[in-house]
Structure 1
């Protein structure tokens, strides 16, 4: 089904793979003759290399400085981005910037604050020359597919699932500060990423959908980091057997592999997609070169993939549905054991009651958002449901088309009626079921969803209130099959269905009538509307010569998601209020974090006010005096030693691109993270852009614990001198234990951002 090469591989003429081995060079030379290319030459023939090359401004393909063609954000992220850019001197959006409203669009929590954010977005689109997509019109990524993508182009979005590779667009999801840099005509700076070929053969079986293919890939490559921070390049003859919608459905889920970006070869089916949307001129045929080298190869035999399910609480926790149904008790027990880690034992968690008469029963089905809400997915679900009904027991079904044009076509072709007649509910374009703000099931309920993630709390439950429910990821087809069997888990391949294969017709008038498009013309006289919850970023201090850090949280889970660092769901209503949102930091993982971080921050505020931080408390007095005694050769005083908090996590940052996972720590006085490794480039970049040191401690056995103080002398000079190894000391009174923290590679600009204290300070005139 899915296999991985052990090393690099060559792709010849798009259809023959030769893995690197002892005799691979001889084989290549005999096949290619004078057309033989070295590994370095052949690596330049990837689609990814050529798109990056055309957008790189550095002149050095090893050290990229990328300028994107377009930007996109939604209503959880655009307020903070624009506020940061305004504080940094923004006058006009220099490239097209689209503000969609698909996350806080229900306006159900926090009084007026969500709609206030929307009005902020509309007035900023007018003032700075952007595009504003009102609530319920489209989810961020569907609008980008329909209206923004273009062959050979690059798009940067402040949402982790910014993936338009199936349409020939290299797209990346990053934290807000990276978009701020683009708004200030700066660059996205990375080393040339590795490129992994995704070699597809065959064609999917009837009833197998894009989520099945995506989950099969994620299950094989997530845990081993095979594509981590690399570009996934989809090639091979099997690509031609997939429709545009099918490719899009696989592509959007590549984020869950922790890859950097994705790109697919394009053909007439993608050209047809652009033509349907009235943008055929934006199509560009993309193919790898005749001889192309990849850093690894993932072989995907499409015909062997079966309907899949990703069990709680991660998209990589995958099984075939047949496997789960055949081994229910054992697999459910395994999931329960894994949940002990994910849930920290905060609630009792059991799935055994889901076994009814030997079958697996679920209470809810959701088909939604950028992954599930596509036209073909919903049409296939309607075909399965026609003539069936979901029953009148616990099971419910909700369907969210990804855009109003898709919804309109479903109404016109009768699919919406078939779904509603079966007992399903049709809803508008909304990302809520993906991030915990819509269709929250009952306590202990089990929800199957064609959406992007199933982390803890993504379904809306609150561990601190004793509430827990579960989400498993599945394809829309198998969700519909389960719905047709009234909640009993069923693979779509077990259903005898005639799929009608309806044709999509895009109605451009829907957007023409509702979307505000400045066409790049700014109106400086427009007054921005600020709601009472939209607050400026608090002042942030520059890095001092030395740092005293207190470890205020210690997390030993194998992976820590951004949802655990700053919860999604209803907390997102406070995303425009930095201090208000910060109150939720780590609230579901370490409820004591905010109190402990604030306590440390008080000592820093005392220092900044010109007083000795020793006045904060007896504990700080002892630590401060201990520092002076332990380092008599250093000038320990309030001007030279800054004070902040830090957290330790084994592998933080999996999941969302949300910058608030870092900024919330910063506004509470955080100066660093310490990790064994960082799950994504996105999270590490967010730390740096908010002036936080992304320390690495390589040994899993820690010399410090929660509550300990770590002194980092001469840190400012270490940054200036580009040191990677940083000497630090774990303090116990006057005793000091020497440790080595690593910083890893940083650009000159990133070092300057750290020294200045944050990106705002770096850019502020």
Structure 2
């Protein structure tokens, strides 16, 4: 029914849509968000944004300008509809499950094909029911729920599953809290996660002025499941994911006392109005520790304007925080790199080695409540030990709605498409040969992520130039790989890669298949593969 793209993957999606030969998208709604590469380090990002704006106007796609907010949070706020399907060129697209959508992340070519009117195919999933009982206690939040589930299920072995949330505890969680949980379902490796659509969903959609799109969605009373997991919200404690994997889980109190250098709140996981208001409430009349660099990035312009209007933004600033742009930013290594060997406490969803922009930094994933506790004390601290009262945040009866930063188009076929010099064409592959003959070009271990294969951060600005971007394939693992692979390709030998368990974790970035294809990789042998990367490898003939 719907698609979403963001600028890091979206430029290639729309180049592929052009190559398919489609003038206007066939979906009910397609939205092109600019939220990843908004640091104008050179002309490349600005040129990509200009291209995306022009192709959106031509193809009948909604364009969301930089600064409007992060795609997943914005989509839940302004476009998410219970019972609709959403395919997105970003692995955290399942955030939409918080509002009752069947929201699935996919590679760019699959999203381009969907916009062109083709169906999206997937193996019918097994279903894990997660039963939530009880109610979260003060200083324990939705982030702790999903960190607990990551401790139980880990990041590997869950391909082919969908997580469905149920139980009396569901009704105690707001839509943004549910979206936090479904967002980090991506780290489990499941196809998607989904909550029922209930009165809580209706209240949220009323407050957004979109109640006409609401419908009830719930599981049948006699539904059967492949697995059932029960989490008692009453017993849950503040949790923390240690470097360098989201499933390296401990209780915060188990690691308390470690000195902290940087604290960052935001991302598509924890940038909601409720998150930012809790941060403001805990910071009121407090001061950030003098040795901590503390930044807060509201997840959308809607949230930023609301906390500015009610005075909460002033409380955050007065406490010593830096206000960051409402974009992905630090989560993808686009700014805010920690100091060397630094300890960075963050509310985002991934802590892979080097993803922050600093290879030897340690990234720790926590809730906003725990992040504030660390910022105030200068060390890892359980927020229950601060001695502060927990702020009571009222759910808004009406959100501030201003859609002027969306550019709507019904499709204008005569629109001129604006291309900068960094924007190339999608690479053309050859048929997979009957015989693969070459050499083992690289051997890697377990949990190889798409960031290992195709680094993001400041390299991501080359995403529209496959020849250039390909020169950085596996740069964090073996900087000589790209030259070695290209030499093999040029002499007619195929490149073969061998890996361990859970190969291709993380981002849906299809460049992690497209660029190896460009270098002549024809085969990857691993003990297990993650879902989106598997599809991308197949799409690009590996």
Q: What TM-score do you get using the length of structure 2 for normalisation? A: 0.97
Larger radius of gyration: 1
Deviation string 1:672-699 (CA, Å, 9 cap, x unpaired) is: 2111211x1110100010111xxxxxxx
Match for residue 224 of structure 2? 293
Deviation string 1:433-466 (CA, Å, 9 cap, x unpaired) is: 111112111111110000011001121114xxxx
Q: SS at 2:460's partner residue?
A: helix
Q: Where do 1:60-459 residues align within 5 Å? A: 69-95=1-27, 96-107=29-40, 109=41, 111-163=42-94, 164-222=96-154, 225=157, 227-325=158-256, 359-393=257-291, 395-459=292-356
**Deviation at 1:478?**
0.8
Work out whether 1:500 is the aligned partner of 2:432.
no
Q: Where do 1:662-741 residues align within 5 Å? A: 662-678=513-529, 680-692=530-542
Q: SS at 1:293's partner residue?
A: coil
**Deviation at 1:191?**
1.9
Deviation string 1:523-558 (CA, Å, 9 cap, x unpaired) is: 111010001100112332223332213211111x22
Deviation string 1:287-344 (CA, Å, 9 cap, x unpaired) is: 111211000011111111100110000110000011223xxxxxxxxxxxxxxxxxxx
- How far apart are the structure 2 equivalents of 1:287 and 1:399? 35
Work out whether 1:542 is the aligned partner of 2:431.
yes
**Which residue of 489, 507, 510 corresponds with 1:656?**
507
C-alpha change, 1:184 and 1:244, in structure 2 (3 Å) is closer
CA contact (8 A) 1:379 1:502 kept: no
Q: Where do 1:741-760 residues align within 5 Å? A: none
- How far apart are the structure 2 equivalents of 1:97 and 1:532? 26
What are structure 2's unaligned runs of at least 5 residues? none
- How far apart are the structure 2 equivalents of 1:539 and 1:656? 23
Paired positions, count = 537
Q: Where do 1:515-554 residues align within 5 Å? A: 515-518=406-409, 521-554=410-443
**Deviation at 1:600?**
1.1
CA contact (8 A) 1:168 1:284 kept: no
- How far apart are the structure 2 equivalents of 1:223 and 1:251? 14
C-alpha change, 1:228 and 1:540, in structure 2 (3 Å) is closer
Q: SS at 2:223's partner residue?
A: strand
Q: Which shifted more, 304-313 or 240-249?
A: 240-249
**Deviation at 1:506?**
2.0
- How far apart are the structure 2 equivalents of 1:224 and 1:198? 17
CA contact (8 A) 1:432 1:569 kept: no
CA contact (8 A) 2:11 2:464 kept: yes
C-alpha change, 1:460 and 1:267, in structure 2 (3 Å) is same
Which structure carries more relative contact order (alpha carbon 8 Å, separation 6+)?
A: 2
Work out whether 1:599 is the aligned partner of 2:449.
no
**Deviation at 1:224?**
6.0
Deviation string 1:331-363 (CA, Å, 9 cap, x unpaired) is: xxxxxxxxxxxxxxxxxxxxxxxxxxxx31101
CA contact (8 A) 1:73 1:98 kept: yes
Q: SS at 2:393's partner residue?
A: coil
**Deviation at 1:124?**
0.4
Stretches of 4+ moved more than 4 A in 1? none
- How far apart are the structure 2 equivalents of 1:208 and 1:228? 29
Deviation string 1:679-725 (CA, Å, 9 cap, x unpaired) is: x1110100010111xxxxxxxxxxxxxxxxxxxxxxxxxxxxxxxxx
Q: SS at 1:160's partner residue?
A: coil
**Deviation at 1:266?**
2.2
CA contact (8 A) 1:197 1:234 kept: yes
Deviation string 1:41-92 (CA, Å, 9 cap, x unpaired) is: xxxxxxxxxxxxxxxxxxxxxxxxxxxx110011111111111121122221
Deviation string 1:143-202 (CA, Å, 9 cap, x unpaired) is: 110122111111000110002112010101111111022122212112211011010001
CA contact (8 A) 1:195 1:233 kept: yes
- How far apart are the structure 2 equivalents of 1:139 and 1:378? 15
Q: SS at 1:92's partner residue?
A: coil
What are structure 1's unaligned runs of at least 5 residues? 1-68, 326-358, 463-467, 605-642, 693-765
CA contact (8 A) 1:398 1:427 kept: yes
**Deviation at 1:223?**
5.1
- How far apart are the structure 1 equivalents of 2:52 and 2:426? 17
- How far apart are the structure 2 equivalents of 1:437 and 1:661? 18
**Which residue of 555, 565, 570 corresponds with 2:453?**
565
- How far apart are the structure 2 equivalents of 1:236 and 1:538? 48
Work out whether 1:474 is the aligned partner of 2:406.
no
Q: SS at 2:16's partner residue?
A: helix
- How far apart are the structure 1 equivalents of 2:483 and 2:6? 30
